[in-house]
Chain A
Amino acid sequence: MGKVVLYMSMSVDGFIAGPDDGKDHGLGVNGERLHDWLGAGGVDPGSYRPADGPSVTVFDEVMDTGAVITGRRTFEFAGGWAGDHHDGVPIFVLTHAEPDEPAPGHARYVTDGIESCVAQARAAAGGRDILLHGAAIAQECLRAGLLDEMELQLMPVLLGQGRRLFEDMPPDHIELELLRALDGPGAQHLRYRVRTAG
């Protein structure tokens, strides 16, 4: 069965976006720096593939996922990925209230909670891993005990302020296990398993 894997680029001081992030500026002030491990990019998702090194391994794993789960904010800040994150895999957007406009392309809104969202994504992913993206949805998944692994691209920069990956969490100690550490280029790729109680 596929795993739910969080993929996020994070500064050493823990931010996944700089300050003043918004719909026209999804990564905030200086936040684009966090994506420097990716290729130059363009219309086609494949154009973001890094040139070489371990970053390629991580990028290819992202592109091999069979479904995407994200939150409403991340989805909108990313322009909904124009309805196709990669290869037309289904995108499940967790939201409290379904917008009037239908979801674009391969996206669909899920309003009945994180458990349902994960269950639907698992069914759709056909045994492949599920890409989880966004800070709020990551926190929600962690609180619900539904996150299997985290693949963090730790970027060698301090942003000082912005949106943190880990915020507003309960004071519960969650043990992790480092599964893999890959160096560069331009990022440390750290993969952790979330160890659940028992």
Chain B
Amino acid sequence: MAIIRLYMTISLDGYVTGPRDDADNPMGIDGFRLFNWLDRRHDPGPSGQVFDEAMSTRAIVAGRRTYELAGHWQGDHHDGVPIFILTHDVPDDPPPGSVRYVTDVRECAAQARAVAGDGDVMVHGAGAAQALLRAGELDELELHVVPVLLGQGRRLFDNLPAEHVELELVRRLSTPDTEDLARRVTHLRYRVVRP
């Protein structure tokens, strides 16, 4: 069965954006600092490997906020794979491209797993990650931990219940010391352990 895996870049202090993120400045103050590692996405090495894996997923799950801030990916995140957008209010206009709207998180997970077949599902965005975690539908986390403290911003892990969720490290990939400082990152992959 398809694995539902979160792919998210975070600062060491746990932020996915800097402070004061909005439509005009979707990453908030200094938030684009988090994406420097993507300069190496087409190069050999850990960051290229992780990026290739993300781009090999067969379905996307994202929240409405991420979807809007990303300009709907013009209806195609990569290779035309189905994009499931979790939303409370389904827009009146028909969704663009390969996008479909889903209001129930478990239904969303089931549909994404079904279309991904023996591939994997990529989850993107803090809201979708939290919803899937709360519903027990998130299988793995691939966290790109950037060596920076942003101080404030939007947290990846927030508004979760006081429930202890065990993880198991699957893999750690760190960029080599020869990489310039701004592009260094540690990719941590965890499996969510079900009780």
Interface residues of chain A, those whose CB is within 8 Å of chain B, are 12-14, 18-19, 29-30, 33, 142, 152, 154, 156-162, 164-166, 169-178, 181, 183-184, 188, 190, 192, 195
Interface status of B149 (Cβ within 8 A of chain A): yes
A30 and B164 in contact, given A169-B13, A173-B30, A181-B186 (Cβ under 8 angstroms): yes
Residue ranges of B at the interface with A (Cβ–Cβ < 8 Å): 12-14, 18-19, 29-30, 33, 133, 141, 143, 147-153, 155-157, 160-169, 172, 174, 181, 184, 186, 188, 190
User: Are B172 and A175 in contact, with the CB atoms below 8 A?
Assistant: no
22 contacts between A and B (CB under 8 A): A13-B14, A13-B156, A14-B14, A14-B155, A18-B164, A156-B166, A158-B163, A158-B167, A161-B161, A166-B151, A169-B13, A170-B152, A171-B19, A171-B151, A173-B30, A174-B148, A176-B12, A177-B147, A181-B174, A181-B186, A188-B169, A188-B188
Neighbour of A19 across the interface among B162, B174, B181, CB < 8 A = B162
A-B pairs, 4 with minimum CB distance: A13-B157, A166-B13, A176-B147, A156-B167
- Pair B151/A173 contact, Cβ less than 8 Å: yes
Complex Cα distance A170/B172, Å? 30
Of the candidates A156, A165, A173, A181, the one whose C-beta lies within 8 Å of that of B168 is A156
Given contacts A30-B164, A160-B164, A173-B151, contact A192 B12 (CB under 8 A): yes
Q: A173-B150, A178-B186, A188-B169 are in contact. List 18 more A-B contacts (CB 8 A).
A: A12-B167, A14-B155, A30-B164, A157-B167, A158-B163, A158-B165, A160-B160, A160-B164, A161-B161, A170-B152, A173-B33, A174-B149, A174-B151, A177-B181, A177-B184, A181-B172, A181-B174, A184-B169
